[in-house]
Amino acid sequence: MKKFYLYLALLLTVNAESHSFDQLPARTGAYLGQRPPGITPEPFAPSIVTTENWEYGGTFTPELNEFYFIREVADVDGVKKQEFVVLKNDGSQWIETIVSPRVGQPFISPSGQTMHLGKKYMERNEAGWSEVKRLGSPFAEIRIMRLTASAKGTYVFDEIGSSNGDGIIRYSRFVDGKREAPRPLSKEINSGKFNAHPFIAADESYIIWDGRREGGFGHSDIYISFRQQDASWSDAINLGDEINTSAWEASASVTPDGKYLFFNRKIDSSPQGNVDIFWVDAQIIEALRPKQ
């Protein structure tokens, strides 16, 4: 195991130019040169990011010039594996690099200085990213799948629950230079089953997550709760039938510029399931925001 992490650290700290990479044809500009979606979700970057295979967990840097995601591929023997991929805009085109085997679900902090990977993380440095580090106790004792952070440094994260769906979404604030112990979020968020994959807005005005509740559309739906004037959280709001279907929708986030909602959807009924990355205009969130 130590040898693996040493190998992984070397992969993550070398420059992209030292990797083999593919130059993506005729794809320039923001968001890989893709035509922006409207209020109907669309697969993101077909044939580049979204393919006939499994893709999951996309996240942009604040400058929108790097896009990280997880992709499943098969080796020469047909054995499937998951790899960590980055697409970088060098100013004239987007270049794809295989960073490493999957480490965790990536999320870039609003400052752009930390890449969270569940209960692991990396820090930005002159070479790119540091070696993989661990958050340590008390986070080490929690089986975190996804952790996101606000501009104030508040963590919001989930855990792998039991087969009965008792996972809890927690938060941990950074106050006076110290990290508070994790606490469960309120019942408005921690109700129903299989609550997971939370995203906290940079300004902490809302939290998005997925789970199963009465009145939902299917396997797992995406919900949002808005911060109220008294600092409590509003009742959960289902994002509606444009986002949620009878399939599995999960792991949503909003791009750093606030323009688009990205999320994942299971698009077939196979046992393993083909998961794709979708995007949609973030006005769908503003339409749900309570009027003050």
pLDDT value of residue 152: 96
Written as one letter, the residue type at 252 is A
Token pair belonging to 236: 């959960």
The CA distances from residue 18 to 31, 101, 219, 244, 275, in Å, are 24, 17, 42, 41, 30
Q: What percent of the chain has pLDDT over 90?
A: 73
Pairing outcome for strands 183-184 and 170-172: antiparallel
pLDDT value of residue 270: 67
- Which of the listed ranges 100-104, 177-181, 261-265 does the model predict with the highest average pLDDT? 261-265
* Contact indicator for 41, 283 with CB cutoff of 8 Å: no
- The residue assigned the tokens 């510029």 is 257
Answer yes or no: is pLDDT of 9 > 70.
no
pLDDT tens-digit series, residues 221-268: 999 999 999 999 999 999 999 999 999 999 999 999 999 999 999 988
Mean pLDDT in the chain?
A: 88
Written as one letter, the residue type at 55 is E
Give residues with Cβ within 8 angstroms of 247, minimum separation 6: 218, 219, 265, 266, 267
How large is the average pLDDT for residues 110-135?
Answer: 95
pLDDT tens-digit series, residues 20-62: 345 555 467 889 999 999 999 999 999 999 998 899 999 999 9
* Contact indicator for 244, 221 with CB cutoff of 8 Å: yes
pLDDT value of residue 13: 41
Answer yes or no: is pLDDT of 18 > 60.
no
∠ CA 153-159-163 to the nearest 5 degrees?
165
User: Pick from 228, 273, 227: which is nearest to 250 by CA?
Assistant: 273
Answer yes or no: is pLDDT of 65 > 70.
yes
* Contact indicator for 202, 151 with CB cutoff of 8 Å: yes
How large is the average pLDDT for residues 3-22?
Answer: 41
Distance CA 260, CA 279 (A): 6
Sorted by where each starts, the structural domains of the chain and their CATH numbers stand as 2-286 (2.120.10)
Higher-confidence residue: 209 or 76?
Answer: 209
